[in-house]
Amino acid sequence: MTKIFLVNPHSPSFLAVKERNIPLGLLYLSSFLKKSGHQVRFKDIHNDQITCEINKTTYSFPHYYDSQIRKIVEEFKPDLVGISVHFSGRFKPAIELAQRLKKEEPELPVAIGGIHPSIFPREILEEYTCFDYLFQGESEESLVQLANSFEDEKYDFRSIDGLGYRENGKIVINDKRNFIDNVDTIPFPDYNLIDLEDYYFDTSKWVSPKKLPINTNIHILSSRSCPRQCTYCSMFLALGPKYRMRSADNVVNEIEYLYNKFNHKYFSFMDDNFTLNKKRAIEICNKIVERGLNIQFDSPNGLDVNTLDEELFEALVAAGLVRTCLAIESGSPEIRRSVNKNLTQKKIYEVYESIRKFPQLVFNSFFIVGFPLETKETLEETYKLIKDLKLSKAIISFATPFPGTELYRECVDNNLIDVDLGEGLHNINKFFYASNTPFIKPYKLKKQDLIDFRLKIYEELHMDIHLKALELIGEEKQA
């Protein structure tokens, strides 16, 4: 039996996030490890950081380490520490944690995983010796294989899919090839790892047509990856190129389990494409109703616009959908074609006509500006679409060329990335979609043109330009 200490690091100071989110990926890893006979301890530093903010006490990582992490390491005596980097903004805190662990326990192996390490495996291992192992992408099976190798003392790392490590002083990066095809075989996330009430926060302003208690939003991942291949999306690097769906029964079984065990009645479908298979989405909704699960849920970014119509909205709302966000990206058909966003103007208008037939459903709209082919004319098309759809709010993000994507390759080849790389792209902790500054200079526009356009939209919609996109998403939760 190998003992694994899983840690969710804190967030950097520039991200003022006060909503608590259960780290679903780490709970999945714990379930897989325990199923294979290994022992797990867990610490969510980020959630404790939020508690400090809510209680108006100062969060200090050195003090937190001394009072919390060191104690677990001394008592649990882990064979491996696994640190998750949910997004690039948490990479620097992960380094801080790993370096402190190595300083005090130099022989304790430390692994890092998540979307950021999946994009920069070699750069991270070359620069940061505090990380002994690195996992690329979906890692349940690979982490178990590493834990098994510790237990057997065989240390045959070359056979572990997607693992990065050092051998005789050289960096070895195993290709990430394998993803779990039958996702129904994956155990439910390990909610025994946490006290759910530790994740409760003030949800009094959230949309709740049924007047049910919310407390927190438990995340449900009903499918993995997305086949759409939009040029700006890097999710395939973490979850692979193949779309893999859980069965409707398996999904609703998880909801029913949480409903009965915790009396929990609010969920968030976190899929990249929850409704890609319309028949399955409707089946999930129907089973929620048939089993008498009186719940509410949202889908922040997983409703595939091409699948949406009045029939699907009716099923979703009947099952408890109260909030969503539609990803339109651009009002310009030319821009959408250039980034493989296969969505027609006609379909956009049809979907907004359908969604407005359900006034109890709160929705927002995603737009991305600043792709390489963006022009004043294409920005005007986005402006016109926003006006024609009579939107009262919208989230305007700047195109972000995530490494590994087609958008990134185009930007590098044509010198379009206009940002100080400093110590390297893998060290830019603000390189994510909520940035208030464009990363790309389009062929025919200045970056200021994009900033001015975003400001224009927010002023006309009476939205606060100083709010980050992450905070804007929270706005739509208010009644």
Closest CA to 385 of 358, 351, 357: 351
Euclidean distance between CA atoms 319 and 313, whole angstroms: 10
The pLDDT score that the predictor gives to residue 432 is 56
Are residues 311 and 247 part of one domain? yes
The residues that bridge with 244 in the sheet, in sequence order, are: 224
Q: How far apart are the first and last CA of the chain?
A: 49
Write the DSSP assignment of 416-434 as a string of letters.
Answer: -B-S--TT-GGG-TT-STT
**DSSP secondary structure code for residue 359 in this structure:** T
Closest CA to 226 of 271, 185, 195, 292: 271
Instruction: Identify the band that residue 430 occupies on the pLDDT scale cut at 50, 70 and 90.
Output: low
Instruction: Identify the band that residue 469 occupies on the pLDDT scale cut at 50, 70 and 90.
Output: very low
Are residues 431 and 294 part of one domain? yes
Q: What is the chain's mean pLDDT, rounded? A: 92
The pLDDT score that the predictor gives to residue 473 is 36
Containing structural domain, residue 296: 202-475
Percent with pLDDT over 90 in the chain: 81
- Structure-model confidence comparison of residues 478 and 306, the more confident one: 306
Which of 12-21, 432-441, 453-462 is predicted most confidently? 453-462
Are residues 225 and 158 part of one domain? no
Are residues 280 and 350 part of one domain? yes
156-190 pLDDT, tens digit per residue, is 899 999 999 999 999 999 999 999 999 999 999 99
In a domain, 183, yes or no: no
The pLDDT of residue 468 is above 50:
no
In a domain, 197, yes or no: no
The residues that bridge with 44 in the sheet, in sequence order, are: 8
Pairing of strands 362-369, 321-329: parallel
Are residues 422 and 273 part of one domain? yes
Are residues 36 and 133 part of one domain? yes
368-380 pLDDT, tens digit per residue, is 999 999 999 999 9
Is the CA virtual torsion 223, 224, 227, 229 positive or negative? positive
Using DSSP's 3-state secondary structure scheme, residue 369 falls into strand
End-of-domain residue from the set 173, 194, 221: 173
Are residues 207 and 164 part of one domain? no
Are residues 147 and 291 part of one domain? no
For residue 455 the two structure tokens come to 């400001």
231-259 pLDDT, tens digit per residue, is 999 888 889 989 999 999 999 999 999 99
In a domain, 180, yes or no: no
Are residues 69 and 135 part of one domain? yes
Please check whether residue 4 is in contact with residue 39, taking contact to mean a CB–CB distance below 8 angstroms. Answer: yes
End-of-domain residue from the set 154, 173, 192: 173
Euclidean distance between CA atoms 314 and 321, whole angstroms: 9
56-80 pLDDT, tens digit per residue, is 899 999 999 999 999 999 999 999 9
193-223 pLDDT, tens digit per residue, is 999 999 999 999 999 999 999 999 999 999 9
In a domain, 182, yes or no: no
Average pLDDT over residues 250-279: 97
CATH code, 385: 3.80.30.20
Number of domains in the chain: 2
The pLDDT of residue 332 is above 70:
yes
End-of-domain residue from the set 128, 153, 173: 173
Are residues 231 and 166 part of one domain? no
The pLDDT score that the predictor gives to residue 153 is 79
Pairing of strands 163-167, 170-173: antiparallel
The pLDDT score that the predictor gives to residue 358 is 97
Neighbours of 306 (CB within 10 A): 17
In a domain, 142, yes or no: yes
Please check whether residue 289 is in contact with residue 335, taking contact to mean a CB–CB distance below 8 angstroms. Answer: no
Closest CA to 285 of 313, 305, 307: 313
**DSSP secondary structure code for residue 39 in this structure:** E
In a domain, 329, yes or no: yes
For residue 426 the two structure tokens come to 């893998």
Are residues 26 and 166 part of one domain? yes
Q: Chain-centre distance of CA 41, in angstroms?
A: 23
In a domain, 243, yes or no: yes
The pLDDT score that the predictor gives to residue 470 is 36
CATH code, 95: 3.40.50.2300
31-60 pLDDT, tens digit per residue, is 999 999 999 999 999 999 999 988 889 999
132-143 pLDDT, tens digit per residue, is 999 999 999 999
For residue 422 the two structure tokens come to 């400093």
In a domain, 160, yes or no: yes
Are residues 462 and 336 part of one domain? yes
The pLDDT of residue 479 is above 80:
no
Euclidean distance between CA atoms 225 and 384, whole angstroms: 32
